[in-house]
Amino acid sequence: MSEAAVAVAAEGLEKRFGPVVALAGLDFEVPAGSVLAVLGPNGAGKSTLLRLLAGLARPSAGRVRIGADEGRDRRRMRGRVGYVGHATFLYPNLTVRENLVFAARLHGVARPGARADALLAEQGLAALADRPAGALSRGQAQRLAIARGLVHDPPVVLLDEPFTGLDPASADRLAERVRALAAAGRAVVLVTHDLAQAAALGDRALLLVRGRVAFDSRGTRPSAAALEAAWREVGAA
Amino acid sequence: MSVVLAVLWKDLVTEWRRRDRVVAMAVFAFLVVLVLHFALPARDADEARRLAPGLLWVAYVFAGLLGLDRAFAIELENEALSGLALAPADRGWLFLGKAAANFVILGAVQAATAVVFALAFGVELAPVAGGLALVVALGSFGLCAVGTLFGAIAVRTRYREVMLPLLLLPLLVPVLLGAVSATAGLLETGTLRWPSIQLLLVTDAVFGIVSFLSFEYVLDE
C-alpha cells in the first residue's frame, strides 16, 4: 500500500482518563476506498477511538493522521472527517432541512440549501424536510444524522454503530451506502457490534478489548467465522 | 464570519420556537425586582435613584445566570455540542455566535425588566434611555463573554447549575463595578461617567479576547 493511499492512520495512539487507560497504543492505517470495521465489547474504547479520529478529543500520546495532515492542524483535520456518532447531533426544534443547512454552514459548504436538498433526496427524507427533527422516528433521525455527517463530502467517514435503530430495509440501504462511500474512494471506519455486518462490509477488522487490539485481520478481509471465533475467545478470556 | 451567523441564527430560531429560556429569564427578573421592591422599599425619589443602579444590575445578573446556564443545556440534547465542536473553523467563532445569541436574548429581557423596574421603584429611566442602553450593552457584553465561556465549561460538569455562578460571579466584579457606577452617574446627573465606561471597555476587551482564544480548548474532551 502506498503512503499516499493512506487516508487515516493511528500511530501509537493512547487515551487516558485519569488512571483509566481507554486506548493503549493503537497502530493502524485505513487506505482510501476501504472500510475498517472496529468491534469490541462495551468499554473497549471503540467510541473513544472514533472521537480521537474525528478531532473531538486530543490523544494522551501518539498521533492521528488524516491524509497528509499529522493532527497538528486540527481544524483542517475536522474538515476532512465526517463523523456520525452514537447521538444524532440534531436540534429537535429545527426542521430536518434546517438541521442540514446549519451543518453545511458550519462546514463552509458553498451552497448549503442545495446541498441539504440533495442529501435529503439521497436519504429519502425529502418529504420530511419541513418536519421538526424532534418529531422523527429513530430510524429517520439516524438517516438524517448520516446525511449531516456527509454534508461536507468528507474523504474520511467515521460511523459509530450506525445500524442501531434502523429497520432491515434501512439497514440494507445503509450497508449499500457504506459500500458506495468506499467505492467512491472514501475511507470508512465503522464501529459495530454486528459481526455479520463487520464481515460483510469490512476490508479489515479490529477487535478491541480494554483499549488493546485483541484481533486484527490485517491483509485479509475478515470472515464471519474468524470474527466469531475471535469474539468467543475474548468472551472466554 | 458565516459560522458566527449560523450559530446566532440557530440559537435565535431555537429560542423563538421554544421560548422557555427567555420566559424563564424574564419571569425570574420580574420576581427579583418585586422581591427587592418589598425588601428595600424606597421612601422617596432620591432614595429610589440611589438604590436603583445596584438593584437593577442584581436583577440583570441573576437573569443572565439563568439564561447562560440554559444556553448550553440545549447543546446537551442529542450531544449537539459535539456536532458544533466538529466544525472545521476556529472555535472562537462558535463562541462569538453563542455569545451574540446570549447578548440578544439577555438584551430583550433587560429591556422588559427596565420597564418593570421603573414602575416598581418609581424611577424615571426614559430620559436617560439612550445612555442606559449603552451602559447595559457594555455590561452585558462582558457578562455574556465570560458567561458563555464558563457556561461551556460548566455544562459538562456534574453540578452545572451551581458551578456556573461559582465560576462566574467572582469574575463579574469589575463588570458590576463599572456598570453600577455608570448607571448611577446617569441617574444622578444624566451624563456618562467616563472612568466607569473605560472600566467596562477594558473588561469587555479582556473577557472577549480571552474567551475567544480559549474556546478551542474548552470544547475538547
Q: Is A15 on the interface with B (CB under 8 A)?
A: no
**How far is residue A141's CA from residue B29's CA, in Å, rounded to a whole number?**
37
Q: What is the pLDDT of residues B10-35, one digit of tens each?
A: 999 999 999 999 999 999 999 999 99
Give the nearest chain A residue to B4 (CA atoms).
A106
Of A57, A98, A107, the CB nearest to B88: A107
Q: Is A110 on the interface with B (CB under 8 A)?
A: no
**How far is residue A70's CA from residue A67's CA, in Å, rounded to a whole number?**
8
Q: Is A94 on the interface with B (CB under 8 A)?
A: yes
Q: Is the pLDDT of residue A237 over 60?
A: no
The burial of A59, by beta-carbon neighbours within 10 Å (0-12 exposed, 13-18 middle, 19 or more buried), is given as buried
Half-sphere exposure of A183 (CA within 13 A, CB side): 7
Helix axes of B20-39 and B45-73: crossing angle, nearest 10 degrees: 150
pLDDT of A31: 93
| Level-2 CATH architecture, domain A3-80+154-236 | 3-Layer(aba) Sandwich (3.40)
Instruction: Say how far residue A104 (Cα) sits from the centre of its chain.
Output: 18
Tell me what the mean pLDDT of segment B38-43 comes to.
78
Domain ranges of chain B: 2-218
Q: Do B77 and A91 touch (CB under 8 A)?
A: yes
Radius of gyration from C-alpha coordinates of chain A: 17
Q: Is the pLDDT of residue A88 over 80?
A: yes
- Residues of chain A found within 8 Å of residue B87, distances taken between Cβ atoms: 78, 106-107
Tell me what the mean pLDDT of segment A85-103 comes to.
95
CA distance A58 to chain B (A): 7
Q: Is the pLDDT of residue A76 over 80?
A: yes
Q: Are A135 and A157 in contact (CB under 8 A)?
A: no
Low-confidence winner among A166-175, B80-89, B128-137 (lowest mean pLDDT): A166-175
Q: Do A105 and B6 touch (CB under 8 A)?
A: yes
pLDDT of B159: 83
**How far is residue A74's CA from residue B85's CA, in Å, rounded to a whole number?**
11
The burial of B186, by beta-carbon neighbours within 10 Å (0-12 exposed, 13-18 middle, 19 or more buried), is given as buried
Give the nearest chain B residue to A148 (CA atoms).
B83
Q: Are B122 and B64 in contact (CB under 8 A)?
A: no
ipTM of the complex: 0.88
- Residues of chain B found within 8 Å of residue A105, distances taken between Cβ atoms: 2-3, 5-6
pLDDT band at A168 (very low <50, low <70, confident <90, very high): confident
**How far is residue B177's CA from residue B199's CA, in Å, rounded to a whole number?**
8
Q: Which of A85, A81, A116, A73 is nearest to B87 (CA)?
A: A81
Q: What is the pLDDT of residues A33-48, one digit of tens each?
A: 999 999 998 888 999 9
pLDDT band at A207 (very low <50, low <70, confident <90, very high): very high
CA distance B220 to chain A (A): 5
Bridge partners, A15 (sequence order): A23
- Residues of chain A found within 8 Å of residue B88, distances taken between Cβ atoms: 75-80, 107-108, 152
pLDDT of A71: 59
Domain ranges of chain A: 3-80+154-236
Element (H, E) at A212: strand A212-216
Q: Which of B103, B130, B100, B119 is nearest to B56 (CA)?
A: B119
The DSSP bridge pattern shows strands A204-209 and A35-39 to be parallel
Q: What is the pLDDT of residues A110-156, one digit of tens each?
A: 999 999 999 999 888 999 999 999 999 888 898 999 999 999 999 99
Amino acid present at B31: L
- Residues of chain B found within 8 Å of residue A77, distances taken between Cβ atoms: 88
The DSSP bridge pattern shows strands A212-216 and A20-31 to be unpaired
For B37-43, the CB contacts below 8 A with 24+ separation are B37/B120, B37/B121, B42/B121, B42/B122
Give the nearest chain A residue to B5 (CA atoms).
A105
pLDDT of B112: 96
Q: Is A16 on the interface with B (CB under 8 A)?
A: no
Mutate to test the interface with A, among B9, B86, B90, B215 (most CBs of A within 10 A): B86
Mutate to test the interface with B, among A93, A146, A148, A150 (most CBs of B within 10 A): A93
Q: Do B221 and A54 touch (CB under 8 A)?
A: no
CA-based max dimension of chain A: 53
Of B18, B82, B87, the CB nearest to A106: B87
Q: Is A47 on the interface with B (CB under 8 A)?
A: no
Query: If you count DSSP H runs as helices and E runs as strands, how many of each does chain B have, helices first?
Result: 9, 0
Element (H, E) at A157: strand A156-160
Tell me what the mean pLDDT of segment B174-181 comes to.
96
Q: Which residue has the higher pLDDT, A73 or B16?
A: B16
